[in-house]
Amino acid sequence: MAFTSSIFSHIPLNNQRIFPPNSHKPKPPRTTITTAALPPLAAVTAADLDGTTLAVIGGGSVAALAAAISITDPERRRRLQAEEVGGGDKEVVREYFNNSGFQRWRKIYGETDEVNRVQKDIRLGHSQTVENVLKMLKDEGSLEGVSVCDAGCGTGCLAIPLAKEGAAVYASDISAAMVAEAEKQAKEQLQAGSEKEVVMPKFEVKDLESLNGKYDTVVCLDVLIHYPQSKADGMIAHLASLAENRLLLSFAPKTFYYDLLKRVGELFPGPSKATRAYLHAEADVERALKKVGWKIRKRGLITTQFYFARLIEAIPA
């Protein structure tokens, strides 16, 4: 399996930028390839994945396909998709991750070999995100007894390792299927053969807007992709209101290049319907945090061949 090594393998303990300002602008590939971005970012070819991947067309092919974007109407397709499930973005996300999306992402986040090369690489990228989040949190000291809210927990990829570290974990997801799988995985991994007593995470089916309570740390990985910036501002403010000391967010970075690739990807919806996907500029996320009195302390970029994610840690200013 060929992939680009993560450039966020280790996070230094300082408050400076981890990467150069232009590190988030990778050079376009010289040859035509198929690649993907943060799940579930956009559509790709029907053969490889569903609406969770992004077709990246190199060189002049990007310019050629970009012209075609102006005569397509992905928003119309999205509106029809929302109408089918009787609602907007939230309803589409819930429907997708309770059905076809759940089956697909359970395989990607799991350990089965029944995944293709692209899916394996996305699995690698996501696992690197989880590893870096754990390193960020443990750099501040032991997690024993620290309360952590895993907002958008998926199948428990972060909640379970946090519990192993002794954290008091509250984990939620909009998808009942995801929460059920997370609970199943937690019981299998935390109760069997554990050398020490581990407090099981508390799992609950909830969307971000419904979360309440207070936690030392709030983590929200790969969820802002479902919110346009106008709504993401409110979600960031809400998540910050739940956190007393730290807020960790990962999101699909919005640059001219990535935005173009996303729009090109929407020309290839694949065999199953995708959720709507929104990229976010780091400056916009930072602005939303500053508005509620928070500042970014650490930041970086996780990237493999098929996975790109900005990861930031914010603290009260």
Q: Report whether pLDDT(110) > 70.
A: yes
> Contact, 68 vs 55, CB < 8 A?
no
Q: How does the average pLDDT of the chain come out, rounded?
A: 75
> Contact, 58 vs 33, CB < 8 A?
yes
State which amino acid sits at residue 139. D
Domains of the chain: 97-316 (3.40.50.150)
> Contact, 257 vs 202, CB < 8 A?
no
Q: Are strands 215-221 and 147-151 parallel, antiparallel or unpaired?
A: parallel
Q: Which of 83-87, 146-150, 230-234 has the highest average model confidence (pLDDT)? A: 146-150
φ, ψ (nearest 5 deg) of residue 249: -130, 140
pLDDT of residue 118: 87
Q: Report whether pLDDT(156) > 60.
A: yes
Could you tell me the pTM of the whole model? 0.73
Judged by average pLDDT, the poorest of 101-105, 254-258, 274-278, 302-306 is 254-258
Q: Which of 51-55, 131-135, 306-310 has the highest average model confidence (pLDDT)? A: 131-135
Q: Report whether pLDDT(53) > 90.
A: no
d(CA 201, CA 216): 15
Judged by average pLDDT, the poorest of 126-140, 141-155, 248-262 is 248-262
pLDDT of residue 25: 44
pLDDT of residue 208: 94
d(CA 209, CA 104): 25
Residue 72 or 289, more confident? 289
Q: Using only the alpha carbons of the chain, give its radius of gyration.
A: 19
